[in-house]
Amino acid sequence: MCTNQVKVVVTGLGATTPLGGDVASTWSALLAGASGVRPLVWEGVENLPVRFAAQLAVEPEEKLPKHRLRRMDRNEAIALIAAHEAWKHAGYAHGDEDGFKVDGDRLGVVVSSGIGGLHTALNSYKTYLDKGWSRVSPFTVPMLMPNGAAGMVGIEFGAQAGVHAMVSACASSADGIGYAIDMIRTGRADVVIAGGTESCVHPLQMASFGAMRAMSTRNEEPERASRPYDKNRDGFVLGEGAAVMIFESEEHALARGATIHGVAAGAGYSGDAYDIVLPDPSGAGQSKAMVRALKIAGLQPEDIVHINAHATSTPAGDIAELTSIKAALGDQAKRVCITGTKSMTGHVLGGAGALESLITVLSLREGLVPATANLDDLDDAVDLDIVRGEPRKLPDGPIAALNNSFGFGGHNTAVVFQRAV
């Protein structure tokens, strides 16, 4: 069990993803092994090296009025959509709605993005070039800044304990969850709205990642392009989406009779100090993050039964992570079931840590781990238990799981969750 004095619990879940416009539809699609990856239909897409991505299943226009969307970047809008679902799921009131109230001075926000408002930045520059500076929107800066989503969510729900945004590439929202846990444990807040968002499916991203040879080029069957641990994997698939959870102290949650969906036991961090893009093939830094997360959570390797892996479907990254898991968990690594849900959602970059943490909480709560999709021919270098074919049932009782998130720059973050019992 967590040795820290304050236990942090998860009381609300919200998401909008390539698999569904909310948590329920996303979870059902994951269990069914569905793919959110689709061909792009842009003009001139045939000139790009990669012509597919995991785009949202439900457009923001179906959830928010147009007058609000005009003042938000797409990544801010989807963060707000996910936050509303999580807030309602936790039983909290918004505005004049019925439900529990929370003191704004005791409410915090940590919503992270690795890139921020890319669409706004590029579209606004095009407007400037084509029509001049006077036609550039006065909302451009708050729409493009990486902390814009956090600010929007903080304003929407009246958070005054602190509003923050971690920026650490694909580890951004996992870092944010760790920060949210610390906000509650240090007494800064009773409740924190925390998660991540990313929406940068744009020709520039497709071209730049394509130039790096980082993305899959399986243009003829995009739904099968993201294939962690498969011998024929050839890169990641870009995705977009947002996931938000409501964290609060157990004392606060129990006092209001909230439903507890999981325990956020702790987060561990490290830096590779190796390469701006490539992971350290030894997995040493990633292993340190997992070991530190377990220590903070007060758990042992044998307490971990499941890992939602970073598993981007890159040839180097997948194997380096498995090496790090073996170093961190020792003999227990062979008894842990591992999944790679980016095989269905694509890689949501800065939002991935939050989305996969949410999936980890659901796996513990429901006792089911979604199978890694498109895993037809297991890589010979894989010697751990990868969930494939169909969802895996988890043991009953008080169990724990890890979610790993690693980012360009050598950022490594591991978050530990426990089943609520």
Residues with catalytic annotation? 170, 310, 347
- Tell me the residue length of the chain: 421
Name the token pair of 186: 């240090």
Residue 14 CA neighbour count, 13 Å, CB half: 26
List of E strands, 206-250:
241-249
Residues 178 and 185 sit within 8 Å (Cβ to Cβ) = no
Residues 323 and 310 sit within 8 Å (Cβ to Cβ) = no
Give the separation between CA 275 and CA 336, rounded to whole angstroms: 29
Determine which helix (DSSP H) or strand (DSSP E) holds 327, and give its type and residue range.
helix 315-329
Q: Give 252-258's long-range contacts (Cβ < 8 A, gap of 24+).
A: 252/190, 252/191, 253/9, 253/11, 256/91, 256/100, 258/11, 258/90, 258/91, 258/100
Task: Determine the distance from the C-alpha atom of residue 72 to the mean position of all C-alpha atoms in its chain, rounded to a whole number.
Answer: 21
